[in-house]
């Protein structure tokens, strides 16, 4: 039977492809958020910017800062330098819950997205200007982190574009179609 070796070869190729795709870990190739300021679930005064740090250098970045009514609070485009993305915030944020949403392209070319929330407890501290002695001990821009705060935790809900699953589905459909074609050939012979 000349079709028998072809059928066995096709079956072996499909089996090998499925094994490779099933055991591959798609998240290993993508970057992840390693730090956010303000941090996830943090309670801070109105920040001047959002800083996101990723495990790998990123490109084609997009960052949004949304209030509870989905109003935007970004100022200009995000600035990406290696693995750090900075998004300036327009004006002073009113007290409330804000969502930071981001989309970057990882070194492997896959887009990675995520979001997290933080709460603004009030406007940035304003008052008498600090004396020269205390001015050197304070940062020049309001950046809020605390040692045990969630700022060092990765942001919630990260994902890749899902193309890996689409490719796996297409491979399985192609394998099934090839199997049906081989069975039909065997019946005709």
Q: Are 23 and 83 found together in one domain? A: no
pTM of the full structure: 0.55
Same domain, 38 and 23: no
For residue 133, the surrounding DSSP H or E stretch is helix 132-135
pLDDT of res. 125: 53
Classify 75 in phi/psi space as left (phi over 0), alpha (psi -120 to 50) or beta.
Answer: beta
Q: Residue with structure tokens 């297409």? A: 170
| The Cα angle at residue 177 between residues 171 and 178, in degrees rounded to 5 | 90
11 and 50 housed in the same domain: no
User: Are both 40 and 120 inside the same structural domain?
Assistant: yes
Total number of domains in the chain? 2
More confident residue, 106 or 140: 106
| pLDDT tens track for 126-160 | 544 444 433 333 333 333 333 333 333 444 444 44
pLDDT exceeds cutoff 60 at 164: no
Task: Assess whether 94 and 1 both reside in one domain.
Answer: no
- What is the model's pLDDT at position 175? 78
Do 68 and 110 belong to one domain? yes
Confidence of residue 82 (pLDDT cuts 50, 70, 90): very high
State whether 82 and 54 are in the same domain. yes
Strand partners, 149: none
Task: Kindly state whether residues 12 and 61 are assigned to the same domain.
Answer: no
In a domain, 163, yes or no: no
Around 60, how many Cα atoms within 13 Å sit in the side-chain half-sphere? 11
Q: Does residue 178 register a pLDDT over 90? A: no
Residue 166 has pLDDT above 70, yes or no: no
Q: Kindly report the average pLDDT of the chain as a whole number.
A: 75
Domain containing 8 equals 1-28+168-189
Q: Is 129 inside any structural domain?
A: no
- Give the percent of the chain with pLDDT over 70: 61
What local confidence, expressed as pLDDT, does residue 95 receive? 96
For residue 49, being part of any structural domain is answered with yes
Token pair of 27, please? 């998240």
- Least confident range of 15-19, 34-38, 157-161, 171-175: 157-161
Q: Are both 111 and 174 inside the same structural domain?
A: no
What would the pLDDT profile of 21-77 be if each residue is shown by its tens digit? 555 544 455 899 999 999 999 999 999 999 999 999 999 999 999 999 999 999 999
């Amino acid at each position: 039977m000349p079709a028998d070796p072809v059928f066995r070869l096709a079956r072996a190729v499909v089996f090998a492809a499925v094994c490779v795709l099933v055991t591959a870990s798609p998240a290993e190739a993508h970057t992840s958020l390693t730090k956010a300021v303000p941090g996830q679930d943090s309670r801070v005064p109105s920040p001047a910017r959002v800083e996101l740090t990723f495990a790998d250098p990123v490109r084609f970045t997009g960052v949004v800062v949304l209030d509870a009514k989905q109003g935007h609070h970004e100022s200009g485009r995000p600035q990406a330098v290696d693995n750090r993305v900075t998004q300036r915030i327009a004006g002073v944020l009113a007290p409330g819950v804000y969502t930071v949403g981001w989309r970057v392209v990882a070194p492997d070319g896959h887009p990675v997205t995520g979001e997290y929330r933080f709460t603004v407890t009030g406007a940035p501290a304003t008052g008498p200007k600090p004396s020269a002695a205390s001015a050197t001990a304070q940062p020049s821009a309001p950046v809020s982190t605390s040692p045990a705060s969630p700022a060092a935790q990765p942001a919630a809900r990260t994902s890749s574009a899902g193309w890996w699953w689409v490719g796996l589905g297409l491979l399985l459909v192609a394998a099934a179609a090839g199997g049906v074609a081989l069975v039909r050939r065997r019946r005709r012979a």
